[in-house]
Amino acid sequence: MVNDVMASEIVDRNGALPVFSSSVNMFAYIRNSVKRCTALTVGQTFFDLQLEFKYCLGLYANRLVAKLPGFITDSNTPPTHAAAAKWRLADKQEEELCFVINTAEYCADTLPSLEDVIRLKIDKAFTDAIELSKEIDTYHDVAAAAMKCIVLGIENILDDDWATMQRVNWGTVETVGDESAYVLAIADKLRPYVPTLRSMLSSLYFTNFCDKFAASVVPKVLQSIVKCKRVNHVGTQQLLLDVYALKTLFLNLPVMGKEGEVQIVGATTVPARYTKFVSNEMAHVEAVLKLIGTPNEMLVDSFKIMWPEGTAENFQSILNMKGYRTNDDESCIYMARE
């Protein structure tokens, strides 16, 4: 059955969200099979038939997974190997991944009603054995895996821009201007994706994308900044300006338009928890940058106050940004550990 319904894979755009037509055809086939079988029997034969449904649903989930990159195999295990780190979204691949998410969501949302129909029609001796929760969870996992691909694909295209930030000679910056080129590049790279995802995904999964993207990408601001060496006072002010621009960009991500403008679409709003997460993360980045301008004699105490969970390695990164000499480093690190 699965091979038949997926033989001609097209996208069905007649519903609220675009899904693979094969999923619609599969459930139509199942409904017709239920109708034909129950016209003759609701006993053991019908029970065996619903087992075949479960088997086919599993095969269909596997066919959806087969549309994902090979390194995505387990939605609970983050991809860590080289293939994941180098992977980039192909042209329009984010749309294909949205189709996978929507189709998996459609299947997961349809299965409870199918379970109810089977429970209602089957002989009461089999009622307690009817359970589709495992299949529902499987489709949720498929959607999560596809979402991981989208987030990772967009995250990876920004790697060059974080590297650009780290290569800037921040110790020779003489004036504070507009936001730096790497900030503009990050914004330019996000603009084609966000409106597309918002238009193609349900509000639930678009919010999920924003949350996961922020959780994955926003911390990279700090991770990149602490790798910068010998940042002078003016360089620090420029970085603070850049961080403000990035914060504004990330805060407006859920309502970003294709030209970069804030674009309220329907009921799309920025969730409070999203705003809180981004604001808190970026406030921490700003606090770390302010440590660079802290007088040397106050640095240790200020570090403990402004970065209470900071480690000796984190403190070393601040020293590197301030351009401390080795002997000074060792003395300060000793005091920071006290």
Distance between CA atoms of residues 322 and 174, nearest Å: 16
Can you give the pLDDT at residue 262?
Answer: 56
Report if residue 174 sits inside a domain: no
Give residue 60's pLDDT.
96
* pLDDT digits 0-9 by tens, 35-62: 999 999 999 999 999 999 999 999 999 9
Domain count, the chain: 1
What is the percentage of the chain residues whose pLDDT exceeds 90? 66
- Across 168-193, average pLDDT: 94
**Mean pLDDT across the stretch 235-242?**
95
pLDDT of residue 75: 47
Q: Which of 183, 186, 197 is nearest to 254 (CA)?
A: 197
pLDDT band, very low/low/confident/very high, at 263 (cuts 50, 70, 90): low
Domain span at 150: 1-156
In a domain, 184, yes or no: no
Nearest to 223 by CA among 313, 334, 328: 313
Whether residue 194 is predicted with pLDDT greater than 50 in this model: the reply is yes
Question: For position 209, what pLDDT does the model report?
Answer: 97
CB contact at 8 A, 143 and 101:
yes
Average pLDDT over residues 154-177: 94
Lowest mean pLDDT among 82-91, 208-217, 242-251, 257-266: 257-266
Query: Which tens digits make up the pLDDT trace of 98-107?
Result: 999 999 999 9
Mean pLDDT on 183-189:
96
- Taking only the tens place, the pLDDT of each residue in 103-140 is 999 999 999 999 999 999 999 999 999 999 999 999 99
Model confidence band, residue 33 (pLDDT cutoffs 50, 70, 90): very high
Please check the confidence at residue 211 and state whether its pLDDT lies above 90.
yes
Which residues, at least 6 apart from 286, have a Cβ–Cβ distance to it below 8 Å? Answer: 240, 243, 244
Could you give the dihedral angle defined by the CA atoms of residues 322, 323, 328 and 334, in that order, rounded to the nearest 10 degrees?
A: 50
Q: Is the pLDDT of residue 334 over 50?
A: no
Please state, rounded to an integer, the average pLDDT across all residues of the chain.
88
Residue 205 resides in a domain: no
**Average pLDDT, stretch 72-95?**
73
Residue 138 lies in a domain: yes
CB-based burial label for 155 (10 Å; 0-12, 13-18, 19+): middle
Confidence of residue 297 (pLDDT cuts 50, 70, 90): confident
CA 267 to chain centre: 21
Q: Is residue 60 one of the residues assigned to a domain? A: yes
pLDDT band at residue 2, thresholds of 50, 70 and 90? low
pLDDT band at 5 (very low <50, low <70, confident <90, very high): low
pLDDT at position 333 is 54
Residue 18 is assigned to a structural domain of this protein: yes
Residue 335 lies in a domain: no
Q: What DSSP designation does 179 have?
A: S
Most confident of 208-212, 296-300, 316-320: 208-212
176: pLDDT strictly greater than 80: yes
Instruction: Give DSSP secondary structure letters for 246-282.
Output: HHHHHHTGGGB-TTSSB---TT----HHHHHHHHHHH
Question: Is residue 185 assigned to a domain?
Answer: no
Inform me whether the pLDDT recorded for 88 exceeds 90: no
